[in-house]
């Protein structure tokens, strides 16, 4: 049986066809342009395959309340062409198969828990630090939703005292995303993060904001593992810095077998760049089994 998966990102749509055990058989990457053009290419990729179910992890914000008339629509995105776009309805009309939809980061968290670095646990968070900052969570075996999907990239952080950067979030200015996303790095330092690898002060500052966020997530959600991906986290020197600052902020307040070993608590994705796509596949498998629970 073939299962479809789409990681619908703000810069690219990664499409794949795979199996129930997480194997991706075919995949492709399509640049995100306007909806009609992007989806025409998505449909062309899937045309040769008879998929039984489709999982979609989407950029957002998206409406995930099934009782809302705009369920499955992209909502307040700064991408004008996608504003209020009925993503789920458009996919349903084309494919005519059951579709599971969630955020890209919730999907990635589920992917890591099902087949990746958090396999065997019943909770984890997945944080992406890139063009934006997003965080998805599986808690007690379920993807976390409430009045909306969580928006943990926009939490407020304590400003480092010598940091006068105004922040780049169009809504909040100096929220976490405003201070520590890829565009924030580029605006603050005048060049892309990938060209600042040897500048220690860049990564010290970056690690400070990320560690603050992780401490808050740990205190509020108590996940058993934290997976950090996205373009900015490809700077591998960030991991030890983040762990050190996390440790300093937490000050030994929580101790247990998970958090005591930060090398296994704060980790890169086990699925690498495929966390989102395999997560979308995991969403589809769960839909097929008609359950909200993660089977581990």
d(CA 174, CA 290): 41
Shortest distance (Å) from residue 153 CB to Zn ion: 7
Whose Cβ is closer to Zn ion: residue 171's or residue 253's? 171
Shortest distance (Å) from residue 213 CB to Zn ion: 12
Interacting residues of 92 by C-beta distance below 8 A, sequence separation 6+: 99
Whose Cβ is closer to Zn ion: residue 175's or residue 280's? 175
Whose Cβ is closer to Zn ion: residue 112's or residue 177's? 177
Stretch that binds Zn ion, among 54-62, 130-138, 146-154, 212-220 (CB under 5 A): 146-154
d(CA 269, CA 261): 17
Q: Is 183 in the site for Zn ion (CB under 5 A)?
A: no
> How many residues in the shown chain lie near Zn ion by CB under 5 A?
6
Q: Is 133 in the site for Zn ion (CB under 5 A)?
A: no
d(CA 268, CA 290): 30
Shortest distance (Å) from residue 168 CB to Zn ion: 9
For residues 72-86, b (16+ Cβ closer than 10 Å) or e, as one string? bbbeebeeeebeebb
In the region spanning residues 13 to 72, those forming contacts with Zn ion, defined by CB under 5 A, are none
Q: Is 154 in the site for Zn ion (CB under 5 A)?
A: yes
Whose Cβ is closer to Zn ion: residue 181's or residue 278's? 181
Shortest distance (Å) from residue 194 CB to Zn ion: 23
**3-state class (DSSP) for residue 26:** strand
* DSSP one-letter code for 181: S
Q: Of residues 81, 89, 172, 187, which one binds Zn ion by CB under 5 A?
A: 172
Q: Is 169 in the site for Zn ion (CB under 5 A)?
A: yes
Whose Cβ is closer to Zn ion: residue 145's or residue 154's? 154
d(CA 258, CA 147): 29
* DSSP one-letter code for 291: -
d(CA 95, CA 51): 8
Q: Is 213 in the site for Zn ion (CB under 5 A)?
A: no
Whose Cβ is closer to Zn ion: residue 159's or residue 172's? 172
Whose Cβ is closer to Zn ion: residue 143's or residue 175's? 175
How far CA 190 is from CA of 64, 137, 193, 194, 210, in Å, comes to 37, 33, 9, 12, 20
Q: Which two structure tokens, joined as six digits, stand for 225?
A: 């593992």
Shortest distance (Å) from residue 218 CB to Zn ion: 21
Q: Is 131 in the site for Zn ion (CB under 5 A)?
A: no
Q: Is 175 in the site for Zn ion (CB under 5 A)?
A: yes
Which residue in 140, 184, 181, 154 sits closest to 293, CA to CA?
Answer: 140
Its sign, for the CA torsion 211, 213, 214, 218, is positive
Residues in contact with Zn ion by the rule CB under 5 A: 154, 169, 171-172, 175, 177
């Amino acid at each position: 049986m073939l299962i479809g998966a789409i990681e619908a990102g703000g810069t690219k749509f990664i499409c794949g066809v795979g199996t129930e055990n997480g194997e991706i058989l075919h995949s492709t990457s399509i640049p995100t342009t306007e909806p009609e053009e992007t989806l025409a290419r998505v449909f062309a990729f899937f045309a040769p395959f008879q998929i039984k179910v489709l999982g979609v992890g989407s950029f957002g914000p998206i409406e995930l309340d099934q009782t809302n008339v705009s369920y499955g629509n992209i909502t307040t995105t700064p991408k004008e062409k996608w504003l209020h776009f009925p993503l789920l309805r458009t996919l349903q009309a084309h494919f005519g198969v059951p579709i599971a939809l969630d955020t890209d980061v919730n999907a990635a968290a589920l992917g890591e828990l099902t087949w990746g670095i958090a396999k065997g646990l019943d909770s984890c968070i997945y944080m992406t630090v890139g063009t934006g900052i997003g965080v998805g969570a599986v808690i007690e075996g379920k993807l976390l939703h409430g009045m909306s999907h969580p928006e943990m990239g926009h939490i407020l952080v304590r400003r480092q005292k010598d940091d006068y950067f105004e922040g780049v979030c169009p809504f909040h200015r100096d929220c976490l995303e405003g201070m520590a996303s890829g565009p924030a790095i580029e605006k603050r330092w005048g060049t892309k993060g990938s060209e600042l690898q040897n500048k220690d002060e860049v990564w010290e500052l970056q690690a400070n904001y990320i560690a603050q966020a992780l401490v808050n997530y740990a205190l509020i959600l108590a996940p058993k593992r934290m997976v950090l991906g996205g373009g900015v986290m490809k700077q591998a020197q960030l991991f030890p810095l983040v762990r050190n600052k996390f440790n300093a902020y937490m000050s030994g307040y929580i101790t247990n077998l998970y958090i005591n070993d930060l090398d296994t608590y704060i980790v890169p994705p086990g699925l690498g760049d495929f966390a989102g796509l395999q997560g979308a596949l995991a969403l589809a498998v769960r839909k097929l089994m008609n359950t909200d629970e993660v089977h581990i």
